Amino acid sequence: MHLDPVVTPPHRSVFDHMLTVPTPALVYDVDNAMRSVGRMLDDVSLVSGARLNVALKSCHTPAVLRHLADAGLGADCASVRELDLAVSVGFDELSATGPSFSDEGALDRLAERGVVLDATSIDQLELIGRTRSGSDVGLRLRLPIPETLDTANSFGANSRFGVGATDPAVHAVLVRHRLRVTRLHLHTGQLSPHLFLWELRYTLTVAESMSHVELIDFGGGFYDFYADRAVARRALQTADELLAQWRARTGRPMAIRFEPGAAVLGPHGYLVTTVQSIEQAHPAYGAEVVQVDTSAWNYAPWHLPAAVPLDEPERQPKSARLVSGNTLYENDFFGMTGRAGRPLIDMAAVSVGERLVLTNAGAYTMTNRRDFNLLGNLREYLIVDDALRPVDTEMAATR
């Protein structure tokens, strides 16, 4: 059977649209994003009782989110304001986990929406117990991922978040406040299909001893999950079998969720910039430094982009260059991702005044934004039905 990869290349017209926007601009190719989402939904439907949500932390732009809600995705929220955003966009299923739900007011807001908080620390669990004794609760778990499955991009025992499933202190709080655990929630960074199956087996074992658990949420990390779509689909088929066996053995229902962020919109967002200055032989970096009219520090601190001359995307030859932003910050380089050293990007030669597109900007761009040097906001555009619209117009059109 022919299987498209989850992300297929954009239509040629996307490049034409990007030639028309004033720079800097963030252009979301919603048409192609929705093709990818359609493939993910198709795959997730291989597991009975599974649904796909989006991690709202990756995008706060209602005009984009509305398309995801319309496609049937739910939303995972990390704060009360994300919850409000998800409600206003119209997501039909909501979940919540994160340290910011730290007072009674936040718990009230969740309760008003019927959302059960997945507690990420013992103190948060204690707060829920103290203020809502006898209620349902979820647990964000920290997992003892085996060494063979742990990578530089996954977080097991080294995660900042979650409680241990076997921690007696957790069980003491649950018993003291008569809390019923109905949900288990994970997010362990990048989720390879192998890691997913290990996590499924682990959490199904945990759920056997917690008799009210009815849903396991595996978080995001779909870049690794979809390194090979055929492998991902096989893992989902295996998951379906494991869940069916578990349900038959225990006589209990069990649903699962995924909530990727980066892989849903990341590949479909383009930062369209103009080259402002080029230093051909930087004395210390030993590479050409190409400075553009927007900032990695302000908009793309984590992103690993490709850099493509918009006029001629296939231009050759390519060599290692640095792409810097327009703030007065020494580390304002695209592709920093928190690592040491200056990130070289393999790209073609460009000239001052030319348009350079930085890819992979569709997620965590506006949600990470800061305004260093008061350089102002990036304008957002959507391509929907092959037409380009600024985000405000799109909002009005879909209201």
Tell me if 221 contacts ligand PLP by CB under 6 A.
yes
Q: Which structure tokens are listed for 374?
A: 């008061």
Residue (41 or 395) nearer to ligand PLP, CB: 41
Q: Which structure tokens are listed for 210?
A: 């917690």
- Among 103-111, 216-224, 236-244, 281-289, which window interacts with ligand PLP (CB under 6 A)? 216-224
Separation CA 147–CA 156 (nearest Å)? 9
Residue (159 or 294) nearer to ligand PLP, CB: 159
Say if CB 379 and CB 22 are below 8 A apart.
Answer: yes
Tell me if 154 contacts ligand PLP by CB under 6 A.
no
CB of 187 vs ligand PLP, minimal distance in Å: 3
Residue count at the site for ligand PLP (CB under 6 A)? Answer: 15
How far, in Å, are 78, 219, 243 from residue 363 at the CA level?
15, 16, 31
Residue (10 or 260) nearer to ligand PLP, CB: 260
- Among 256-264, 269-277, 314-322, 380-388, which window interacts with ligand PLP (CB under 6 A)? 256-264
Residues 69-128 that bind ligand PLP (CB under 6 A): 76, 97
Out of 138, 261, 301, 305, name the contact with ligand PLP by CB under 6 A.
Answer: 261
Residue (18 or 186) nearer to ligand PLP, CB: 186
Q: H/E element holding 395?
A: helix 391-398
Say if CB 9 and CB 35 are below 8 A apart.
Answer: no
- Own/partner contacts of 159-167, CB < 8 Å, gap of 24 or more, are 159/188, 161/99, 161/120, 161/121, 161/187, 162/120, 162/121, 162/186, 163/119, 163/120, 163/121, 163/122, 163/125, 163/139, 165/139, 165/141, 165/206, 167/122
CB of 186 vs ligand PLP, minimal distance in Å: 8
Tell me if 220 contacts ligand PLP by CB under 6 A.
yes
Tell me if 347 contacts ligand PLP by CB under 6 A.
no
Residues 262-291 that bind ligand PLP (CB under 6 A): 262-263
Residues 159-198 that bind ligand PLP (CB under 6 A): 187
User: Each residue of 242-269: b (16+ CB within 10 Å) or e?
Assistant: bbeebeeeeeeebebbbbbbbbbbbbbb
- Footprint of ligand PLP (CB under 6 A): 55, 57-58, 76, 97, 187, 219-222, 259-263
